[in-house]
């Protein structure tokens, strides 16, 4: 059972890393006007926007600068990642 739990925690860690990368790519694409409106950006928006919209409701853009990206990345790195590390220690540590 702990092997399955360990694998799930590791998979979730990989998904958090991939989502962070997708979030950074989406943010960079939003700065380049020629790349806006393409199919690639549409697919990225389908993945990223559902988590950004609630953050934007609480923290609206300040002076045209959307800090929802920053807030989401900080939550992923300083809340989710330590929880995953703690879960990995408990799920993947050998039991003697």
At 1-11, the pLDDT tens digits run: 568 888 999 99
Residue 16 pLDDT grade (very low, low, confident, very high; cuts 50, 70, 90):
very high
Residue 8 is predicted with a pLDDT of: 92
| Nearest-angstrom CA–CA distance, 78 and 84 | 11
Q: Where are the domains of the chain?
A: 2-90
Beta bridge partners of 65: 62
Q: Which residues contact 48 (CB under 8 A, 6 or more apart)?
A: 22, 23, 26
| Nearest-angstrom CA–CA distance, 11 and 17 | 10
Higher-confidence position of 18 and 36:
18
Helical residues (DSSP H) of the chain, grouped into ranges? 2-31, 39-58, 68-75, 81-92
CA-nearest of 4, 13, 17 to 91 is 4
What are the tens digits of pLDDT across the range 52-92? 999 999 998 888 888 999 999 999 999 999 999 898 888 88
């Amino acid at each position: 059972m702990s092997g399955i739990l360990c694998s799930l925690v590791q998979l979730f860690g990989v998904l958090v890393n991939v989502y962070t990368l997708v979030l950074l790519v989406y943010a960079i694409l939003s700065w380049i006007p020629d790349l806006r409106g393409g199919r690639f950006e549409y697919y990225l928006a389908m993945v990223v926007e559902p988590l950004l919209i609630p953050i934007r409701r609480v923290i609206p853009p300040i002076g045209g600068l959307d800090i929802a990206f920053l807030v989401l990345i900080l939550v992923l790195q300083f809340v989710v990642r330590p929880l995953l590390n703690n879960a990995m220690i408990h799920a993947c540590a050998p039991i003697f």
